[in-house]
Structure 1
Amino acid sequence: MAVQKTLEDWLSDALAAVPRVLEQSARTVIRVIDEDKSTHGIMAGLIHADPALTWHVLRRVEELRPDHIDEIELMPEQALSLLGLTQLRELISGLPKVAANDQSDTARLLRLQARRSHLAAYLCRSFAARRHGPNVNALYLAALLHGMGEWMLVELGHGELVAGMMESDDPDGLITERLGFGLDRWITNLSDRWRFPSLLRSEYPPSPSQYLARLGVQISNGLALAAQRGWPAKTLENLGATAGLYLHQDTDQVLADVRRLSVDEARSTLDVGHPPAAAALPSIGMSEVAASEPQPKPSPAAVVEEPQAEPAARAFTAPEMAPPVRKKTKLLLPNTAFYSLTMQGMERNARSGVGAVLEHVVEGLHRGLGLHRVAFAARTRNADVLGVRFVHAWEQPCALTGAHLPMSPPNLLTKLMERTQSIWVREDNRERILPTLPEVLRRVAGDEDFFLMTLILNNRPIGLFYADRYHGHLPLDQQSYDGFRRLCTEVLKTLEKVSAKAIAGGAAKP
């Protein structure tokens, strides 16, 4: 009688294995490196389309700079800065790959896993942003790499088990029955030995925040699996109720948001070379993708047919709820850790003058709150003009760069510059407010919501901040507005420590 392998035996096998990456993902990243047309942020997005590729990059960083791994989980783009594009290219070129034309059951399972992991990470990041938690990027990586548990089981020759988990209502129970340990224990022990992701490690300090972080990862992976299975109603109701408690939202609203986010995720990854994770895309508002990238015919050994008798979940029966298509949409999510660092570093930057403080805050608003375009327009020597001095934007060139905002003839900016105050231009006030703003600002904002806040120090106008989420998936919300006003208000406290002479000398020239 064969002796059942222990968890330690499985872990030893997994640690000795080298997970393959998807050839299509590797090709895409190498091509972008060779074309030299990408930023670290865009490159990180391409790498994250493949959890195994993400794992290899983090593994290399952990080997080279083990003291930086937790910091990189908060700001993943730093991994690319530490590696450099040349070393990244060499790393990817030497990795074992799943050939793009490989139609074996194992290859199909890994492609399905890659798409599901990416969808889970996409959902988790959105949920974390709504909760305004401090570890949005770390949660994204944890949800993405959570799928490496199943990935390693496939690589160890147990694809049939993973295929069964993918179609089971109780995947954790199935793996426990077959292997003697649950999926969460498997992933936690793998994370302990890899030393990442930190949110999944058993030595991570136990706290309510840890519990909530892991809950968010588990909910997101469960919802991604349900989407891939064809939206089974019973599973969705259970997960939706849990997600509703997690997000403090109604279950139906959560499920409607999951449907919308699944469409967004599919649109954002049209170039990865294999179909999106979410099934039944025509019924959830994405027929153009379903038509252009049909699902490959599944192998009976790898994927069990979706049950047809179970009715679809109520929240997924209204095609008219699908969001309008927006071209060139990009997502920059809040990074609360960066926001906190901006607050802490403001006084330090004050030693270098007003300009250093303002530029520091503009970047903090951009990266800390996930605002796509942030600018500061300073009062110029021509008192009737504000000149944009500092800009941080996702897309370059930005229409705000070098712009001049006239305050003559008198307009709303003239009124706002009378005292420190803020305004949130949105759907319910846009028609009333936009005509009162300078034409250049109306053209820049278009039909997007945006924030404005003026800075007046000792009765002297300094300038104003502008921020929006141009073409962003996440709308501006009250939390973003509160964070915007808080950081701008802190600027005034800091500027009190800078001489009036320095303020005058730092004014922009028209």
Structure 2
Amino acid sequence: MPENTTLNSFINKADIAALPVLPHTLQVLKEAFEKPSFNYHHLNKILQYDPACMINLLAYANQEINKDFDKQISQVDHAAMLLGMERLEKFIGNITSLYSVSNKKVADKLSRLQHRGVHTAFQAQNFAQLIKDSSVSEIYTSSLVTPISELICWHLEPVKAQKVELLVFKEKLDYKQAQNDIFGFSYHELADALTHHWQIPSLFLKRQEMNELDDASRPVQCIYLAEKCSIIAEHGWYYDDMYQFIKLCADTFHYSEERTAQMLHRTAVNMAHKANEFYPVQTTISHLALLAGKVPYIQVIKVDEKKKNAVAENKPQSIPEKSAARIKQNKIASIELITSAVDFPDLIRLTMDALFETKVFNRISFIMLSKDKKYLQSRTLRGHKSKHLSDTLLSMQPANLFSKLLVKPQSVFINPLNYQKFAPLINETMHKMLGVEEFIAKSIHVKGKPIGLFYMDKHPLEDNVFHKMDIEDYNQMKIICTLFDKQLQKIS
């Protein structure tokens, strides 16, 4: 195979310990080194949430230690111990944080790629524990560095890396082909080359060399499937491929789809809690995606229920009370009229009418994003009139729950079980605007751009009594908003 001079030239630009690390990582590292009680195991606890710093350290250690003796380093505590305090302090003194990246968009992308690496590591570790593999620690470290090629490309050539994404999302070009067209090599080739060049853990190298999932070793299967999971989750847990992915994992590891789905969900939530200090923005988005229906767990249960119902369809069945109520609501005129909407204002009006006519919500509002993208304001209101909700201008900065919700098409159900988790994103202006601590919100996007959101709650009426919201209320919203989404696609 001919030598790729473009790839070799790019690798030469990728200096050891060049990747900017998370600001929190650098801060904690410096604080840890100042403590007399510092030991090498503390380092591992810090770096397990920062793929860039992990890559930097392992690459630096393998380069330095090879000067002394031929030994590959794949664990943080081993690297730290063999480097010694003097070289370790030198290493920490040379690394920079994402704050040094002047382009905020690039810094955000690097942070999200690191978050993907951490999710991959958490998931691979849990896969390994599920199948009782003995190399859990090495699997975690090898999984953590999976976004190495994209991190390097976005750090060294952010303009080219952005062009790759534009070719994929706008021109629908194959991802690998786009990489080759722009960089002259694929990310996979770069990861493989860097693995050899920097002597990154051998297990990660085996992942790069994998051709068929069935032929791969168990540890490599854990890493591959975990990486795939983190990419799907990055698109949102409602991504179409999630159920097929759950089935693939279940078939590979020989566990039920239900148990696999439970484990995926538990891993994501656990990671979000543990890595919250390192990734406050990303973990918030993860929670937003996971809370609404607890996908992918509920998604699998619903599929299982359909299978059971198909088997028992010949048996006479009574209609449950809640199902009967839903059928009755589906006969409401506005619900049926949603599919007849010819333009966006008409669709908004009919959808809000349908939501209100179900008598599930006391207050429904269409909250619109201003043209300059600087604030949100209620444009249409059904039900209980509220001056605060109607008149308040909710600024998009500083970031709040609604501004986070508008990042992508998604919904959230805020209730007493999760309110404290999201309280930091509900600022004083937003709290006064809503006047309640239980509500449902769904973002609205047209051609990929945020327009606003639907907001629903059970604000007290004349009786001045607060009524609790439950999952059935959320399900009612989903039924109607699914029709809304389909019609919006048709008229956009």
- What corresponds to 1:191 in structure 2? 195
Distance 1:203 1:273 in 2: 26
Q: Deviations over 1:17-67 (max 9, x none)?
A: 233222432222111111244543332121232222111211222123235
- The 1-side partners of 2:103 and 2:180 are apart by 29
Residues 121, 141 of structure 1: 8 Å contact kept: yes
Counting aligned pairs with the same residue, the percent is 14
- 2:161 corresponds in structure 1 to 159
TM-aligned CA distance change 1:296 to 1:98, over 3 Å: farther
In structure 2, list runs of 5 or more residues that go unmatched.
Answer: 294-397, 422-492
| Equivalent AA in structure 1 for residue 57 of structure 2 | V
Structure 2 residue 28 is matched with structure 1 residue 16:
no
Contact 2:121 2:143 in 1 (8 A): yes
Matched, 1:263 2:260: no
Deviations 1:84-124 (A, max 9, x none): 34432221111244216856211111111111111111111
Question: How much does 1:174 deviate?
Answer: 4.6
**Superposition pairs of residues 31-110 of structure 1, within 5 angstroms:** 31-66=31-66, 69-70=71-72, 72-73=73-74, 75-99=75-99, 102=102, 104-110=104-110
Question: In structure 2, what residue type is equivalent to 1:259?
Answer: H
Give 2:282's aligned amino acid: P
How far apart, in 2, do the equivalents of 1:116 and 1:166 lie?
A: 19
Distance 1:180 1:86, change over 3 A: closer
SS in 2 for 1:146: coil
Partner of 2:130: 130
Instruction: State the secondary structure of the residue aligned to 2:255.
Output: coil
Match of 2:111 in 1: 111
* Structure 1 residues 214-225: aligned runs within 5 Å: 214-225=220-231
Aligned to 2:205: 201
Q: Do the aligned partners of 1:149 and 1:187 also contact (CA within 8 Å) in 2?
A: yes
Q: Give the match for residue 249 of structure 2.
A: 243
Residues 249 and 270 (structure 1), Cα distance of their counterparts in 2 relative to 1, 3 Å cut: same
Question: Using the alignment, how far apart are the partners of 2:41 and 2:173 within structure 1?
Answer: 37
**Counterpart AA for 1:198:** S
Query: Contact conserved, 1:198 with 1:204, CA < 8 A, in 2?
Result: no
Whether the 8 Å CA contact 1:119–1:224 is kept in 2: the answer is yes
Deviation at 1:209, TM superposition (A): 7.7
Aligned mates of 1:131, 1:21 — CA distance in 2: 35
2:453 aligned residue? none
Q: Is the 8 A contact 1:153 1:159 kept in 2?
A: yes
Cα distance per residue 1:357-413 (max 9 Å; x no partner): xxxxxxxxxxxxxxxxxxxxxxxxxxxxxxxxxxxxxxxxxxxxxxxxxxxxxxxxx
Distance in 2 (CA, whole Å) between partners of 1:154 and 1:84 is 31
Aligned equivalents of 1:224 and 1:100: distance in 2? Answer: 27
CA distance in 2, matches of 1:259, 1:215: 19
Distance in 2 (alpha carbons) for counterparts of 1:42 and 1:48? 10
User: Does residue 232 of the first structure (1) align with residue 238 of the second (2)?
Assistant: yes
CA distance in 2, matches of 1:42, 1:169: 44
**What letter is aligned with 1:201?**
L
CA distance in 1, matches of 2:119, 2:234: 10
Count, aligned residues: 301
Any idea what the Cα deviations from partners look like across 1:184-223, whole Å, max 9, x if unmatched? 3332222122222212336999898854433322211121
Distance 1:15 1:41 in 2: 32
Deviation at 1:129, TM superposition (A): 2.1
CA–CA distance in structure 1, aligned partners of residues 19 and 287 of structure 2: 28
For 1:446, the equivalent position in structure 2 comes to none
Q: Contact 2:19 / 2:152 at 8 angstroms: preserved in 1?
A: no
Q: Which residue of 2 aligns with 1:141?
A: 141
1:336 corresponds to: none
Letter of the 1:56 counterpart: N
For residues 13 and 102 of structure 2, the distance between their equivalents in structure 1, rounded to whole angstroms, comes to 24
Q: Does 1:275 align with 2:281?
A: yes
* Deviates further, 36-45 or 109-118: 36-45
Equivalent residues in 2 for 1:495-510, closer than 5 Å: none
Is the contact made by 2:191 and 2:208 (CA closer than 8 Å) also made in structure 1?
Answer: no
Counterpart code for 1:217: I
TM-score, normalising length from structure 2? 0.52
The structural deviation recorded for 1:247 is 2.4
CA distance in 2, matches of 1:246, 1:36: 47
| 1:14 aligned partner, one-letter code | I
Judge which range, 258-267 or 76-85, deviates more: 76-85
Change in CA separation of 1:294 and 1:154 when aligned onto 2, cut-off 3 Å: farther
Pairwise CA distance, 1:294: 6.2
Q: Counterpart of 2:237 in 1: which secondary structure? A: coil
Deviation at 1:181, TM superposition (A): 4.8
Cα distance in structure 1, aligned partners of 2:142 and 2:33: 26
- Seen in structure 2, the aligned counterparts of structure 1 residues 17 and 296 have a Cα distance that, compared at 3 Å, is farther
Unaligned runs of 5+ in 1: 299-303, 326-510
CA RMSD of superposed structures (Å): 4.2
Partner residue, 2:359: none
Question: Partner letter of residue 222 of structure 1?
Answer: K
SS of 1:234's partner is: coil
Q: Distance in 1 between matches of 2:168 and 2:137?
A: 26
Deviation at 1:77, TM superposition (A): 1.8
Deviation per CA, 1:262-319: give whole Å up to 9, x if none: 11112112222643357340453599xxxx9969979xxxxx96456xxx9xxx99x9
Per the alignment, in what secondary structure is the counterpart of residue 249 of structure 1?
Answer: coil
Letter in 2 for 1:76: V
Cα offset, 1:183, TM superposition: 3.5
Aligned partners of 2:260, 2:417: CA distance in 1, in Å? 13
Q: Is the 8 A contact 1:33 1:85 kept in 2?
A: no
The answer as to whether partners of 2:101 and 2:107 remain within 8 angstroms in 1 is no
